[in-house]
Structure 1
Amino acid sequence: MPETRFTVRWPDGQTEVCYSPSTVVHEFLSAGTTYPLDDFVVRCRIALEKASTRVEAKFGYRCTSADAQLTQIERKASAFTAPADVICLSIS
């Protein structure tokens, strides 16, 4: 499974490189696109859940790195209040 990394800019201006064990993230995020904070979290939740499920189907266990990345995204997002936006800077 090809790993994918996506770089985001949080509402406070900090950038973060995030991890997905699958390219499925391309179905939910686009480079150069700004997302409302809540929408971004939902998109990441769905994408990383699908990615972890793909790993489980192939190897017999979930991807703990995808689960940890989602936890990190949710934790970071909880520090901001709406309205706030997250920008997906790149996907590679």
Structure 2
Amino acid sequence: MPEVRFTIRWPDGTEESCYSPSTAIRQHVSAGTAYPLPEFLDRARAGLNAASDRVAAKFGYACSSALDQLARIEARAATQPPDGQVICLSLT
């Protein structure tokens, strides 16, 4: 299953490399796009849950890496200004 790495810039200016176990994340975030923090969280949840579901459909179990990545994103988002924007810098 093709994995995707995506790099984001948080509202505080820090960058983070993130992981998706499938290309499903590409349906939810686009490189070069800025998202209000709440919208980015919704998109990350949808994309990473869809990626985990694809793994489950193929292998019979959810992808813990996708769910761990989502947990890290949610934890980091809680430290950011709620009116900030997250920029997706790249998807590879």
Match of 1:28 in 2: 28
Q: Superposition pairs for residues 1-92 of structure 1, below 5 Å? A: 1-92=1-92
Which ranges of 4 or more aligned residues in structure 1 deviate by more than 2 Å?
none
Deviation at 1:80, TM superposition (A): 1.6
Tell me, which stretches of 5 or more residues in structure 1 are unaligned? none
**Distance in structure 2 (CA, Å) of the matches to 1:50 and 1:25:** 8
Counting matched residue pairs gives: 92
Q: CA-atom RMSD, angstroms?
A: 0.6
**Under a length normalisation based on structure 1, what TM-score does the superposition of the two structures give?**
0.98
Residues 36-86 of structure 1: per-residue CA shift (max 9 Å, x gap): 000000000000001001000100111000000000000000112321000
**Distance in structure 2 (CA, Å) of the matches to 1:34 and 1:61:** 32
**Distance in structure 2 (CA, Å) of the matches to 1:80 and 1:19:** 20
User: 1:81 aligns to what SS in structure 2?
Assistant: coil
Tell me, which stretches of 5 or more residues in structure 2 are unaligned? none
User: 1:34 aligns to what SS in structure 2?
Assistant: strand
User: 2:90 aligns to what SS in structure 1?
Assistant: strand
Q: 8 Å contact 2:8–2:15 — kept in the other structure?
A: yes
